[in-house]
Amino acid sequence: MSLWKHGDKKEEKPVGVIARTSELEQICEGDKETYEALIQTMFLDPRKIGTSIKDAADNAKKLEKEKNPAKARIWYDVAGGLAIYQGNVKKVVEFFGESQRISKMPYPILKNTEKAVAKAQEYYKRYLKD
């Protein structure tokens, strides 16, 4: 007789689970590409970030000069996320472009930045109460 019974376990599946869409998914209205671009880059509440966009960009540039690309990329991402919050498309392209250059990873937000920033702004206006 084996102490371990194989195959006797039945997996229980949840009954009546309802898929709930997030506020950002609702705003993106089935535009999966924009949703994926934003979910990777935007801060849901950037007011909680304890640095300014200028400081984040300065940190990134300093770390890049110090040959620390991993940390530089993180700071460029922070600056890019804050630029999304400010609605500054030019800065979003600049900062995430630098992140992409350093990391060699694709940043989908760079494909349609204006549309993504507009959707993010809609999210911020709707869900962030100052």
Contact 100, 107 (CB under 8 A): yes
Q: Which of 89, 98, 91, 100 is nearest to 53 (CA)?
A: 91
| 0.95 surpassed by pTM | no
Write phi, then psi, for 5 (nearest 5 degrees). Answer: -95, 120
> pLDDT at position 129, please?
74
Residue 90 CB burial class (10 angstroms; 0-12, 13-18, ≥19): exposed
Per-residue pLDDT of 17-62, as tens digits, reads 544 558 999 999 989 999 999 999 999 999 999 999 999 999 999 9
User: CB-based contacts of 11: which residues, under 8 Å, 6+ apart?
Assistant: none
**Using 50, 70 and 90 to split pLDDT, how confident is the model at 73?**
very high
* Spans of all domains in the chain: 23-127
The residue type at 46: P
Is pLDDT above 60 for 82? yes
Write phi, then psi, for 112 (nearest 5 degrees). Answer: -145, 65
Per-residue pLDDT of 97-126, as tens digits, reads 999 999 999 999 999 999 999 999 999 999
